[in-house]
Structure 1
């Protein structure tokens, strides 16, 4: 079953913040060396693969599994955000760091949220490992991808729509990005982020993949009191080519302020070599940018791969 809360569409190109690069821009980036960077300094990416520590229902636990994948235990439920457990995805080298949590160590999954259909956020081999009864929440236009694979509880949402699953409220919110999975499906499904709220009021925001822009302030106004904002800090170089769809670390810090979020949890770096910046640069730059704000250093959750942090009391 697909739950929908709006009219079906064939394209979401009108939701683009800026036009996508054309042949001239693509040729320019290819002539200047392409997008791929080096794996040098990969041994400096922090790892902390100690499994999932126990937590109580009144304490949300946020675990970075690598790239944009998070294991979120909130309100007594377990949610996977953009789960990618594969060691290789199409078009890029093998991952630099292993998944921060072994698949066998995961508790029963109560819901999965997908931000958009790019291969580094929607990984077919990982999705195949889930029971087909797992509730999945996806952007508008993407539900059919899951029902074709046998999933029975699939909810499509447009921007600003919401659904309740497993005692949690899920709100799908805008992002400055785009979608494509094949040669002929550009922007035929939507893209965005997720605001997850439990009955006690704990509020988590997973931005998916996004450039910097006006949506953050509006999300913060509509959903005040975000406890943790999971924001991308990598895949941003060359800047002239990627600034419309990928934030750099300084912009991620600015976005956290626009959101009014208490904490910034980093993601979208240290896993796949997608662009030219060095693999460790995003971490170094986000720490510098955060320090300039004067905010509490403990509220920058610059997580190691596999690390867990808590919003409240933990054992």
Structure 2
């Protein structure tokens, strides 16, 4: 498995152009599982791609009140795709994915069962109840070998769900979020910065940037990092789980550093109104652009059809991503627009 970094500038060569929100890119570092640090910076606000909304934006948001779809946008809830089925058999060489809903996936990779941003609760803080059931019953899960967390927002970090896990379950989290888990007695917590990695039983977990932010209480804005994950098995097969993100330059950089991504799990929902959410949530067209920037072979949409977090009609993300895919001239079989609960096997 090779990691490519930018070559140094030659003498007399102009430095690389500056990109807002971009930080110096360290060489990939492999860290031991269970690594916790006490010297993270007090804030990761310097990693923001765009400033967080100010007073004027908050006032406009309160004035317009466009936080949920109207009745017309909700009428298609009964039509949302929900087709739960059994998890596919998975051996040590299998690469398979099952969408449990929102950003929660059951990944079978390198003989491990890995959960991404597991949310099995019916409700999360500040949001109406989920509009589709969880696609995989908790009691039908095999033993969970690891969990990856993208950031600390309530629709991605769900305390009641994580409470169901044995406390010795390995958990991979962004920098600064480890204490949240150790306070809940998780004993194998690995905190990673962007471009760092750890390895568990032959599967590599790389933490990569995203265009987002973090906040869980009134006093912890950007106190922990946010990002996505690249999971790579022994044979070099790769899955990119983007977590929660807006569109931007990081996708091309991730694709450059991690060539040959077999499947990109990318968010397509919670994007309206755009003036409010464009910096932190991709819309369907941007998700297709991100997939192309990554150079991935296939894309599976997520972050829609589960919670009503914004004002677009509930079925619109699916219709728009299909239209954007067709407009880009991409092979239809490479868009894995799965129903909630469905599975696909990449490598049997």
TM-score (norm 2): 0.88
Q: What CA distance in whole angstroms lies between the structure 2 residues aligned with 1:184 and 1:95?
A: 27
Q: What CA distance in whole angstroms lies between the structure 2 residues aligned with 1:65 and 1:166?
A: 24
Counterpart check, 1:113 vs 2:148: yes
1:8 matched residue in structure 2: 40
Cα deviation, residue 311, structure 1: 0.7
Secondary structure at the aligned position of 1:311 is classed as strand
Unmatched tracts of structure 1, length 5 or more: none
**Residue 60 of structure 2 is aligned with which of 12, 17, 28?**
28
Give the number of the structure whose alpha-carbon radius of gyration is greater.
2
Give runs of aligned pairs for residues 50-89 of structure 1, distance below 5 A.
50-89=85-124
Unmatched tracts of structure 2, length 5 or more: 1-32
Secondary structure at the aligned position of 2:168 is classed as coil
CA contact (8 A) 1:111 1:166 kept: no
Deviations 1:213-252 (A, max 9, x none): 0000000000000000000000000001110000000000
Q: What CA distance in whole angstroms lies between the structure 1 residues aligned with 2:296 and 2:254?
A: 10
Q: What CA distance in whole angstroms lies between the structure 1 residues aligned with 2:326 and 2:38?
A: 43
Counterpart check, 1:242 vs 2:242: no
Cα deviation, residue 59, structure 1: 2.5
CA contact (8 A) 1:5 1:161 kept: no
1:258 matched residue in structure 2: 293
1:312 matched residue in structure 2: 347
1:288 matched residue in structure 2: 323
Cα deviation, residue 5, structure 1: 6.8
**Residue 219 of structure 2 is aligned with which of 184, 194, 203?**
184
1:132 matched residue in structure 2: 167
**RMSD over aligned Cα atoms:** 1.2
TM-score (norm 1): 0.97
Cα deviation, residue 165, structure 1: 1.4
1:278 matched residue in structure 2: 313
Aligned residues: 313
1:214 matched residue in structure 2: 249
Deviations 1:153-191 (A, max 9, x none): 000000000001132100000000000000010000000
Secondary structure at the aligned position of 1:63 is classed as strand
CA contact (8 A) 2:120 2:134 kept: yes
Q: What CA distance in whole angstroms lies between the structure 2 residues aligned with 1:99 and 1:274?
A: 17
1:197 matched residue in structure 2: 232
Cα deviation, residue 283, structure 1: 0.4
Cα deviation, residue 63, structure 1: 0.5
